Amino acid sequence: MFGVYGLDLNIEEKDIKIELSGKGAEKRYFRKVGNEEVEKKVYANKGEIIVSPVPPVNLPVNVSKHLMIELNKNIFIKPAAEQQLFVKFPLEIGVFLSDEKDIEPLDIFTKTNIKYTLYGAPEDGFVCRWWKSNIYDSIPEFDKFYEGVMKLKIKNSYNEWSEINKIVFNTLGMKIFYKDYAYCSANLEIIKKSVGKTYFDEKIKGMNEAVDLYFAKSRRLGLSITKEIEKEFFMERGFK
């Protein structure tokens, strides 16, 4: 489903239908996921449609830029150790209109149930999109229209054992890649007993890079796209 298409589009996979059709410049966009239907008008003679995974914090609009993944089992990691594992993350899918000058989000949808939670205290905490995942030693079986796979590398730079139950990410730096499913690679470095830093890898060989939604929004709003954005997140309120 993910990829670049022309302005004559008809995708049907499982209970997802995405269609762009019409003669001349006037076209009808139609999307159905389960029982939810969306219809829009598009006026264009040329361009492309890009269907791409996007960071899972866009629905509802402007609630949060943070993602929390809660693990189904607590894990312990010893001092000076590194561990690699896999978790799942909730999938949101973006449909974009693109030409040589601009790229514009046309539609964003998800099959997941959207839940948010708070990391930290109410007075100074962070609202986060919440997701719970099992822990895997290798890429697990999963529903590619419902969730993506995250490779997670944990490094304990502190001099004591660390216990981890939840991990929080800043999705402005979330680099997602795809073939026929969504994939990303992330890192957690434990700095102190209850302090860690999370960030995403920006290159993955052999996969296509998803649309950078922050880049697209910045262009639409006329903001500087050369300004460095904050891509890391410092977990200063612990991992439990």
Q: pLDDT value at position 228?
A: 55
Amino acid identity, position 150: M
**Could you tell me if residue 81 is inside a domain?**
yes
Predicted structure pTM score: 0.92
**Could you tell me if residue 169 is inside a domain?**
yes
Q: Render pLDDT for 185-217 as a digit per residue (tens, 0 to 9).
A: 999 999 999 999 999 999 999 999 999 887 665
Q: pLDDT value at position 26?
A: 95
Pull the structure tokens for residue 170: 């800043």
Is the pLDDT reported for residue 227 higher than 90?
A: no
* Pairing state between β 82-90 and 147-156: antiparallel
Q: Render pLDDT for 100-155 as a digit per residue (tens, 0 to 9).
A: 888 999 999 999 999 999 999 999 999 999 999 999 999 999 999 999 999 999 99
Q: Render pLDDT for 31-89 as a digit per residue (tens, 0 to 9).
A: 999 999 999 999 999 999 999 999 999 999 889 999 999 999 999 999 999 999 999 99
Q: Render pLDDT for 3-22 as a digit per residue (tens, 0 to 9).
A: 999 999 999 999 999 999 99
**Could you tell me if residue 240 is inside a domain?**
no
CA of residue 193 relative to chain centroid, distance: 28
Name the domain count of the chain: 1
Query: What's the pLDDT band for 223 if we cut at 50, 70, 90?
Result: very low
Cα separation, 206 vs 219, in Å, equals 28
Cα separation, 49 vs 113, in Å, equals 26
**Could you tell me if residue 49 is inside a domain?**
yes
Query: What's the pLDDT band for 225 if we cut at 50, 70, 90?
Result: very low
Domain range for 60 is: 3-235
Cα separation, 16 vs 34, in Å, equals 7
**Could you tell me if residue 77 is inside a domain?**
yes
**Could you tell me if residue 51 is inside a domain?**
yes
Give 170's strand partners: 66
**Could you tell me if residue 67 is inside a domain?**
yes
Please provide the average confidence, as pLDDT, over all residues in the chain: 92
* Residue 88 burial (C-beta neighbours within 10 Å; 0-12, 13-18, 19+): buried
Pull the structure tokens for residue 135: 């822990």
